[in-house]
Amino acid sequence: MSLAGPEPRTFEGHGGLREVWAESRANWHRFQLSVLDDDGDAIEVMFSGMELAQGIELSGVLWFSVESRDGKISRVRSAMDAGLL
């Protein structure tokens, strides 16, 4: 099973962040995120909601890696397994 969300590609700037968030939210009902752990290298996040395409409630853990350059976010990667970041 794959989770509904934006197709993997590059999003740039503030507009890109708004676009990826809007695309992600469009596929879910009652979508929620809660940070479980942030060790500085990876952020562990619990997600839950109803995935609209399949009409089922899902919850699980996502991992995010955030890189910065000159005090600004330069890259965000996400995966369902920390080892894939």
- What angle is formed at CA 75 by the lines to CA 72 and CA 77, rounded to 5 degrees? 140
Could you tell me the pTM of the whole model?
Answer: 0.69
Residue 73 lies in a domain: yes
Q: How many residues does the chain have?
A: 85
* pLDDT at residue 34, as a whole number: 95
> How many C-beta atoms surround the C-beta of residue 58 within 10 A?
15
Residue 62 lies in a domain: yes
Q: Which long-range contacts (CB under 8 A, 24 or more apart) does 60-68 make?
A: 61/36, 62/33, 65/41
C-alpha distances (whole Å) from 24 to each of 14, 19, 39, 64 are: 15, 8, 25, 15
Q: How many domains in the chain? A: 1
Residue 16 lies in a domain: no
* pLDDT at residue 1, as a whole number: 44
User: Is the pLDDT at 2 greater than 60, yes or no?
Assistant: no
User: Is the pLDDT at 8 greater than 90, yes or no?
Assistant: no
pLDDT band at 71 (very low <50, low <70, confident <90, very high): confident
